[in-house]
Homo-oligomer: A and B are copies of this chain.
Amino acid sequence: MTAAPSPALDTALAYHRAWTGHDFDRAMTYIADDIACEAPAGRLQGAQAFRGFMEPFTHILTDSHLIAAFGDETTALLMYDTKTLPVESAPGAECLTVKDGTITHIRIVFDQAPFIAAQNASNGS
């Protein structure tokens, strides 16, 4: 579900389609060099750190579904569900700040607990 068109939402959705479509090189074309990303594990500064966090996730991503997406001139807000190799349903939400077609800030919310549980189960096996 999407609200009225917004420049920030257009960019956020283009980025979202790229990474959920396993084209991370294309996804990175929407990311500012000096992006700041606030993720559950902490703050990431710069495009390289961001890619190091986000790209590995796309390697375990097997499916995704956009739940809702809204935006205005500078901000986009997305919620989506993902299916991953270790976790069957791993929904996430992102609040993205967009400037001149480039994403300068992302706040990501998701539940780390099932990934930690899957990792612990894997280590224990």
Contact = CB atoms under 8 A, between A and B. Distances in A.
A92 interface: yes
A31 interface: no
- How many A residues touch the partner, as a band? 20 to 34
Interface string A16-37: 0000000000000000000000
Given A79-B109, A91-B107, A111-B110, A4 B4 contact: yes
Contacts of A93: 77, 79, 93, 109
Nearest to A78: B77
A81 to B, nearest CB: 9
A14 B49 CA distance: 38
A121 interface: no
Interface in A69-118: 69-72, 75, 77, 79, 91-93, 95, 107, 109-113, 116
24 contacts: A1-B72, A3-B3, A3-B70, A3-B72, A4-B4, A68-B75, A68-B77, A69-B77, A70-B77, A77-B77, A77-B79, A77-B93, A79-B93, A79-B95, A79-B109, A91-B107, A92-B109, A93-B93, A109-B109, A109-B110, A110-B111, A111-B112, A111-B113, A113-B113
